[in-house]
Structure 1
Amino acid sequence: MEISVFSIQKSKADNFENEIKEYIKMSSKFAKISDLTIFNEKIAKAQSAGSESALKSYDDIYEPNLKGFCIALDEKGEKLDSIQFAKILESNSQISFFIGGAYGLSQNFKQKVDKIISLSPLTMAHKIAKLVLFEQIFRALCINANHPYHK
């Protein structure tokens, strides 16, 4: 199984990088996990220009990576419990998660993914949402492997 997590993030500094690496390491016996953080000059300029330009720049970066079963994270997406989340991982061998930038994800992009989920009805800082996602990926893999992590 391959799982890729794509995020648009200005800096990795103080973004739970060590905790995320630990979840990736613990998950490695179940799946190959990739943390792909993207930020470049084009995104920076587009974000300064406003939401429409920013969303277009996110689409340009993300659309070539629409591979496997694609899941967008959005606060208005489907609410799942950990068991339901685990079933998604169980039934797909290649999964790509997409976390929006400062302006979220465009409607155009969300129409191209297979599923849109919400980690919580609360709005979270990008770095917290990303950490929660990696923990839930590990939890789902444990559920599917009958590992005792999930109680």
Structure 2
Amino acid sequence: MRIDIIGVGKIKERYLRDGIAEYAKRLGRYCKFNIIEVADEKTPEHASDGVERLIKSKEGERIAKHLRDDAYVIALAINGKQLSSEQFAAHINDLGLHGTSHIQFVIGGSIGLDDAILKRANYLLSFSKMTFPHQLMRMVLAEQIYRAYKINAGEPYHK
């Protein structure tokens, strides 16, 4: 299985880069794991709805360049479906059993994802109704993908 996380913006904090690198290393025994970063747009404070739509559109175009036609795309969205770790693991396992060999997760920037990316997605996933920093979500998602592989392999992992 090939798994990509496509995220808007660079990870600036060292502790997050280190955490993501650790999970990427651990995932190496289960899948081909890749992080793709696309440039973010500067969002002015108190941006109008029109400016925010334009920013999301530009970031969406950058994301779209990396989306593959043969990939199953899971977009992180606050209005997506919430799953337990076990349900998430089962979803990944089911995709593999049904012939999916490439999953691409998409994490938007600070104001979310463009509607075109949400429409392209095969699945909308939410980690919570709360808002999290998009940089932190990259590490949380990497950890949950690793946890899913551990669950699917029947290997112990913290509950």
Same fold (TM over 0.5): yes
Aligned with 1:44: secondary structure?
coil
Partner of 2:41: 44
Displacement of 1:81 in angstroms is: 0.7
Deviations 1:76-119 (A, max 9, x none): 11001111111222123210000011220122221111000001
Distance 1:110 1:44 in 2: 18
- Map 1:66-81 onto structure 2 (within 5 A): 66-67=67-68, 68-81=71-84
Aligned with 1:65: secondary structure?
coil
Displacement of 1:72 in angstroms is: 0.3
Distance 1:14 1:141 in 2: 26
Query: Once the two structures are aligned, what percentage of the paired residues are identical?
Result: 31
Displacement of 1:62 in angstroms is: 1.4
Partner of 1:130: 138
Displacement of 1:150 in angstroms is: 4.8
- The one-letter amino acid paired with 1:83 is E
Displacement of 1:139 in angstroms is: 0.2
- TM-score (ref. length: structure 2): 0.84
Pairs aligned (count):
146
- TM-score (ref. length: structure 1): 0.88
Candidates 81, 85, 96, aligned match of 1:82: 85
Root-mean-square deviation (Å)? 1.7
Aligned with 1:109: secondary structure?
helix
Displacement of 1:35 in angstroms is: 1.0
Distance 1:116 1:150 in 2: 26
Candidates 100, 105, 116, aligned match of 2:108: 100
Structure 2: gaps (5+ residues): none
Q: Check whether the contact 1:2–1:93 (CA below 8 A) recurs between aligned residues.
A: yes
Distance 1:144 1:52 in 2: 39
Displacement of 1:36 in angstroms is: 1.1
